Amino acid sequence: MRRVFAALGWLLLFTLLGGLAMDVAGDLAAPHHPVPVKALAMLGGMGGEFGINLWLLALCFARLPGARMPQHFRPRLGLVEGLWGMFGFGLTMGAGGGLFVNVRMTAAFYLILQHPDFRPSFTDPLTLTGAVLAGELMTALWLAWSMRRLGPPHLSDGSPSGVAWRSAPTAAYAQAVLLALLLAGVVVGMYKLVPPDLKSLENLPSAKLFNGPPGTIAAMLGVVLVLGPVLEEIAFRGIGFAGVASRLGPGGAVAVTTILFLAAHGPEKIHYLPGFLDVGLMALASCHLRLRYGSIRPGILLHMLYNGFGLAAAALT
């Protein structure tokens, strides 16, 4: 409980300092440019959001005195550590992407002061891609830091209560390819039986990411086909699965990690409900590979191929 109150105290401090810093910056700019009172209030709000995102990152990286998680893990990963591996994944990604947007909005504010006719857009492909990349890279740093804290014994442990970051036999990767092909057939079949509303999907931020210049498209392909699958498998089928399995067993770990994985993809799949089926099947297939071969690496290959086939199916549709 002491750590909870300490964390809330730090949240208040970060929010106040962020808002105060932006208010001071606005006051310094006011003598040179006319700044409406409403704009100054919005600037303070942006500073508060900036502080909240910094607080989230400090919390995830255990950099808040008095609110830090224990600096050592128990001999076996516990349920709390497993759940934190999955929720921390989402928090770090959101805070990293939000921080980029905060910087972008602050820069746009001062550009408006210099050029009153300037009308910024925060849903353009460049801004969205920058936010995604910032979130993914921050999450990669957090997972690398988390795995270092766990240490080699936990990482190389191929049992259900280990992270299973280890090599796998060739047959495991062959089975991952086969499962990916089966999932691709499921996706194509769903598109035929329940065609998606393409016009509504075109307005989603994820669709706009692939409508930008070649540089942003290449960056997003790297995220979808490589970086994203690696990070998600480590968080959900690696750390998360190990922690939950230590308390609830392999079956409980399969259920909990799959449900949370579906929830993480909810904002994307809610616009095409049948999409929850193939995401759930992919998560179950990855869990199967992990349990059968004691490694999450075949699941990473499965995830990469699943995303690639999904992109191809969407493009053909």
- Each residue of 70-129: pLDDT tens digit? 655 455 688 999 999 999 999 999 999 999 988 888 777 777 666 666 666 777 788 889
In this prediction, residue 296 carries a pLDDT of 98
In this prediction, residue 2 carries a pLDDT of 82
Which ranges of the chain would DSSP assign to H, the alpha helix?
2-29, 37-60, 79-114, 125-150, 152-155, 170-193, 198-202, 205-208, 214-222, 228-232, 241-264, 266-269, 275-293, 297-316
Burial class (CB in 10 A: 0-12, 13-18, 19+), 129: buried
- Each residue of 175-229: pLDDT tens digit? 999 999 999 999 888 888 888 776 666 666 666 677 778 888 899 999 999 999 9
In this prediction, residue 71 carries a pLDDT of 56
In this prediction, residue 116 carries a pLDDT of 63
In this prediction, residue 293 carries a pLDDT of 97
DSSP string over 109-152: HHHHHH-TT----SSSHHHHHHHHHHHHHHHHHHHHHHHHHH-H
In this prediction, residue 234 carries a pLDDT of 98
Contact (Cβ atoms closer than 8 angstroms) between residue 263 and residue 136: no
Domain positions in the chain are: 72-316
In this prediction, residue 212 carries a pLDDT of 74
Averaged pLDDT score across all residues of the chain: 86
Handedness of CA 225, 100, 262, 210 (dihedral sign): negative
In this prediction, residue 73 carries a pLDDT of 46
When pLDDT is averaged across residues 249-273 and rounded to a whole number, the result is 92
- Each residue of 142-162: pLDDT tens digit? 999 999 988 899 999 999 999
Contact (Cβ atoms closer than 8 angstroms) between residue 67 and residue 59: yes
Whether the pLDDT of residue 39 is over 70: the answer is no
User: Of 16-30, 36-50, 108-122, 135-149, which has the strongest mean pLDDT?
Assistant: 135-149
Q: Identify which of 160, 283, 303 has the alpha carbon closest to the alpha carbon of residue 230.
A: 303
In this prediction, residue 54 carries a pLDDT of 94
Residue 255: count of CB within 10 angstroms of its CB = 14
Top-confidence residue, 22 or 274: 274
pLDDT band at 29 (very low <50, low <70, confident <90, very high): low
In this prediction, residue 113 carries a pLDDT of 66
